[in-house]
Each structure stands twice: as C-alpha cells, then as structure tokens.
Structure 1
Amino acid sequence: MGEAVSGSQQVPLRTADVAKESGYSVQQVRDLERLGVIPPASRSSNGYRSYTPLHVHALRAYRGLAGAVGPVTARQMLAELRTETITEAASAISTVHVRLAREREEALRAQQALRAIQAEANTPEFEQESDAMTITELARALDVRPSTLRFWEQEGLVTPDRVTSLRARRYDLSAIRAARIVAALRSTGYGIPAVREIMGSLHQLEGLGEIRRILQQRLDQIAMRTVALLRAGADLAAVVTAAQEPTTT
C-alpha cells in the first residue's frame, strides 16, 4: 500500500482506488471530499470522479491529523495548508508538535505533584512560602485563564493559601500541586463534579491510585496522538509541497 501515490506523476484514480490506498471506504472518501478535507475531484466526460495521488496523500494526512488534534481542527488545518506558504504550513504543523509536547509536560508535572502530595507532610514550611505563586503566575504556568482558577476555587477544587485585603490570591505548594492535578483531569475530559470527587479522595489510598491511573492514561493518549502525527508526516509534506507548485490546466 502506498506505491500508487509515489512520485509526482498525476495518475488518474477512481474513487475505489483512492479508498483502497487511503484506507477509507468509498462513501467516506466522498464524504470527506464534501467536507473539504480533499480538493474537489475533477469530472470525466462521463461524469465519473477523477482523483490524483495528491488526494490520497491528503486523506492519509487527515487520518494522522485527526488522531492528533481531532477531526474538526484537522479539516480546518488541511484546508489552510493547501493555501499557505511553505513557511506558514511548516509553522502550523510544528505548533501541533509543540502543543502535544506541552500537554505531555503538564501531565508529567501532575504526576510529580501527585508524588509530592504523598510526601507533603515532610515538606518544610519555608519551602512552601518561597515557592508560592500569584494567581497570574499559576494561570500562566498551567496555561489557563485567571478566571478559570477563580472558578476552580468557587467549586472547591483549588484553594489559595490566602487572599489579602486587596483580594490578591497567593497559592502555596500544596495548592499549586492540586491545581496541576485538576488541570490534568480537566484536560482528560473529566467534568467538575467528577474532578471534585477525585480530589476529595486525594489523601486516600484508593484516590491516589485512581489519579495515578488517570494520569498514566493521559500520557498514553498523548503518546498515541503523537505517533499518529508522526505517521502523517510524509503525507503532510506532500500536501504542503504540492501547494507550492504552479497549477496546470
């Protein structure tokens, strides 16, 4: 699989050919064409669709992108990649890699926070004070808005160490660690009630085990999304470079 799309020659392909090479069904190929994932196929004199190897590359690229960022974002990205300069397109793809790396880093930080919470009783008070953060600093570290942290506080998920008379919030190490775990749980798709329940059991053995399992699952999912993006690499490159070639009639 893949030989039919190698090279730059424009070999006319039927819908069935494209389906076979891309791994989609004939109906899925038509649906994805309708959604703009691939450019409209040309029509022969008898009305049949006529595709090129580039359509196969685009469909394969979509599969990987959809696995990495979701189908809606993948559709939007592919449409943009076909019109952008090679510099813009390369930057857009690099941004996805950076996003996945950041998500992985945050999940790892949440794991570190969980381990630290288990040993929190041994944390010196001066360390907690010296490592305190303002709401702006913590929001920046978690890549969320300050209003999100206020909402989490309102919902009883993360509580500042203190709030001054000027309503300035300070988060100690314990609160920072809790915030990292909440952020990881929310990124995994857990709703507020579920997060509240999990955080409520944080200092219980079963609670620690459940959070540990969730965070590992999160890391595994990020790894799978990263692999999907890597598999799409050559096909994305074909889509990007084709956009730089002059169109012929």
Structure 2
Amino acid sequence: MGQKLQDGERLRPVDLARGHGLSTQAVRNYEEAGILPGAARSPYGYRVYTPLHAYALRAFLALRPGFGHATAASVMQAVNRDATEEALRLVDESHAQLLADRRTLRAVEVALRDLDPVRPERGDTFVGPLSRRLGIRPATLRKWERAGVVRPRRDPRTGYRVYGEADVRDAQLAHQLRRGGYLLEQIAPVIEQVRSAGGVAPLESMLRDWHARLSARSRAMLGGAAALNAYLEHRGQ
C-alpha cells in the first residue's frame, strides 16, 4: 500500500486487497493459510485488518519472486506462529541454494572453457582410447553411460561401444565437472542441455540468461528480505 499507515488504523479486506492488486478472496485465503496473522472480527462478524496485516502482505508478496511461493509461505507461517528462527533458517537455506547455483554455473563455464583447446578428434573412437585420453578407467565411462552422461552407440557387428564427436565432447565436459566435485546426477542435466542446444557454442546464450536469472533472483531476495525485516520490526521481533 502506498499511503502511510497509522498503528491504530483499521482496514477492511477490500482496503488491503486494492492496495496490493489482489482480490478480497485472495486476502482471506492468505489469512486462512497462516501467511497473514489472524484478523479480529467486528461485532457484525466482518474481518478487521490493521497495518500489521499490510506489512505481512507486503513481506509475502516481496518474498515470493526470489524465494518462490512455497518458501515465502513457509517463512510467513513460521513468523506468524512466533517461530522466527525457523523463518530465518528458511531464508538462509534459500541464499545457500543461490550460492550453490552460482558455483554450478561457474563450474560449467570453466568446464566449457577448458574444452576449447581440446577439440574432439574427427571420426569415432572406442572405450579404450577415450579412457586413456581422459585419464580415467574404462569402467568409469561405462558408469557414466548408465547415468545418462554419455550415450555411445553400439557397433552392430561387434557390439563394441562407439563414441562419436558429440560423445567425446560430452565425456570431456563430464570429466571437467567431475574434477570440480560435481556428482553424476548433477552433471547429467547439464550434458542434456548441451545436447538440446546442439553443442557447446549455442550454450553461450544460455549461460548469459542463466547469469541474468541468478542476478534477478538475488535482487528479488534482497527486496524480500528487506520487507520481511520491516514486518519483523513491526511485530517487535
């Protein structure tokens, strides 16, 4: 709400709704879900809201873009039942996940950069030569295959695994990410993105978008945290 609120002021559901571009039903739903503190009732049974509810609604709406609806709701529910430490833990966990996402992005960028000087050889190769080239055991390549990280085809006559240029690229990228400490279940989706993009070069645009999304999320989390802090202060916590 844009106007200055006074502590003793009483607000109708429609006042709270209009000030935030919501329906009165949405406001009631948020109260029933514990996102807003419980409202008092007038002698006629109508809900009576206060500036405290406006601060709570602002905090929830500000938290949602950066933290997501579920986490924002859980944070507000924890605050409203006086479990502030739990609410702050949820905030901290979201910031930790953002940092982990940034580290993953950095690892992918480093891995892709390290691929540049080592272009895949033209033509096909087999388990032995590829494992020697990467400095890993053949069993490791087979493990990566089971995890969906590499997808060599089979020679129809011999049944041997045959790695094409794209397969070698995927194995190189996986090798770099494994050296960075990433698990196969974390690597497989990245490799799939490389395949979907049609190679490494188109990923440059994806990485720029990834950076932009993380920055936008970080800014949104800052705004959400500020609004949450204002709500906590108004509650005297």
Task: Verify same fold: TM over 0.5.
Answer: yes
Runs of 4+ in 1 over 6 A off after TM superposition: none
Cα distance in 2 for residues equivalent to 1:212 and 1:14: 51
Contact 1:67 1:229 in 2 (8 A): yes
| TM-fit CA distance, 1:244 | 4.5
Q: Secondary structure at the match of 1:120?
A: coil
Cα distance in 1 for residues equivalent to 2:187 and 2:56: 32
| TM-fit CA distance, 1:240 | 2.5
Contact 2:65 2:221 in 1 (8 A): yes
| TM-fit CA distance, 1:88 | 5.3
Q: How does 1:1-249 map to 2 (within 5 A)?
A: 1-5=1-5, 9-84=7-82, 89-121=87-119, 153-157=145-149, 174-177=173-176, 183=186, 186=189, 196=192, 198-200=193-195, 206-244=198-236
Contact 1:84 1:243 in 2 (8 A): no
Contact 2:98 2:218 in 1 (8 A): yes
| TM-fit CA distance, 1:38 | 0.9
Q: How many residues align?
A: 200
TM-score computed with the length of structure 2 as normaliser: 0.66
Contact 2:36 2:80 in 1 (8 A): no
Cα distance in 2 for residues equivalent to 1:200 and 1:178: 16
Post-superposition CA distance 1:41-79 (Å, at most 9, x none): 211112221111121222222123221222122211211
Contact 1:12 1:51 in 2 (8 A): yes
Q: 1:35 to 1:107 in 2, by over 3 A?
A: same
| TM-fit CA distance, 1:106 | 1.6
TM-score computed with the length of structure 1 as normaliser: 0.63
Cα distance in 1 for residues equivalent to 2:43 and 2:52: 21
Q: 1:177 to 1:213 in 2, by over 3 A?
A: farther
Structure 2 segments unaligned to the other structure (5+ residues): 121-133, 152-170
Q: Give the aligned CA root-mean-square deviation in angstroms.
A: 3.8
Question: Which residue identity does 1:42 align to in structure 2?
Answer: A
Post-superposition CA distance 1:94-153 (Å, at most 9, x none): 33223222212221221222222223349xxxxx76xxxxx9xxxxxxxxxxxxxx7x64
| TM-fit CA distance, 1:238 | 2.6
Return the index of the structure with the highest Cα Rg: 2
